[in-house]
Homo-oligomer: A and B are copies of this chain.
Amino acid sequence: MSEDVSVASGLNCPIPFEATDRVQLGHGSGGKLSASLLRERFLPHLSNPALDQLADAAVVSLGGEDIAISTASFVVSPLEFPGGNIGSLAVHGTVNDLAMMGAKPQFLSAGFVLEEGLPFDLLDRVIRAMAESARAAEVLLVAGDTKVVERGKADGLFINTAGIGRLGSSFRPVPENAKPGDVVLVSGPIARHGMAIMAVREGIAFEAPIESDSAALYPLVERLEQSVGADVHVLRDPTRGGVASALNEIAAASTVGVVLDEGSIPVPGPVAGACEMLGLDPLYVANEGVLVAFVSEGMESRALEALKAHPLGRDATRIGRVVDEHPGFVVLHTGIGGRRIVDLLPGDQLPRIC
């Protein structure tokens, strides 16, 4: 790529606020600070082949069978939002991480940290949403734990879920598997979850409220597997950090370039409006019910057909392709013929979005 583009990416420019000895909000962003926290604080002590995969879920062998294991903690604020609450999100987040490895989610555990004074009616709504989401995702919540901390020592309620999924023997999408020529598909309109949260937080009212897309994605994965199988090279649910961060991670892991066509990226009108109002780029806004799929070029129409056959994927579309050039970089071709680097953000666009 040309030199000025490279400079604009800022990859070689040290970020001053990294030079600190304490955790910052940005370390939870899913961007560069998150990556450095993982690289500098966790991996030096905890490195092992399964953890080092750094995929959405770890793949390990147990009793001769391969399984996927994933975990996530949920600290979303507010706890309830249009389209869901922290309970449904905690189920969807973890089953989706399993699904992105091609695994069928089987079992979940749930750990709760409750703040003294949390109203039971709120807790009831959260638990009910978890139960409904687990049933819909055909996953069993089999183990749980609850701790309580004093008033002011947590923010209402945090939930951790961990999940176990079964892997078939041949369908193994991984972030390292993107290949030049692949098409990049999204299963639906982006940036809805993040903007649903932000609209509540900022008190923005729209004629129709923006609903989170939070949903379990395995049904889409199953259809992709059945229709194009191993021609699905990479799957990712672009949560924290949005589509931009997910594509950057895949470009880096596969050492390929990704080119996005701005005009083809589906952003619902109200979401685009809210993003503009708040100065946010929808490419960096979290999704909780959308997947990105890298698929062999010749399989584009079959893959899109498979996605569109399910309600969650009815607006599936191609947004870009994989190229040999600028390995590790995502480049957006804009409507007016320009292009710009879509980099990992250093820190936080939207804290506590999940």
Contact = CB atoms under 8 A, between A and B. Distances in A.
A62 interface: yes
A24 B75 contact: no
Interface string A17-45: 00001111111110000100110011001
A123 interface: yes
Chain A interface residue bracket vs B: 35 or more
A39 to B, nearest CB: 12
Contacts of A351: 148, 150
Contact of A143 (B45, B71, B107): B71
A3 interface: no
A117 B148 contact: no
Interface stretch (A156-164, A186-194, A249-257, A299-307): A156-164
Interface in A114-128: 114-121, 123-124, 127-128
A46 interface: yes
Count copies of this chain in the complex.
2
A62 B352 contact: no
A113 B113 contact: yes
B127 A23 contact: no
A58 B162 CA distance: 13
Nearest to A115: B23
A109 interface: yes
A46 B120 contact: no
Interface in A140-164: 140-150, 152-155, 158, 160, 162, 164
Which 3 pairs show the lowest CB-CB distances between chains A and B?
A28-B148, A162-B162, A160-B160
8 contacts: A23-B114, A23-B119, A24-B148, A57-B143, A69-B109, A143-B162, A153-B154, A164-B164
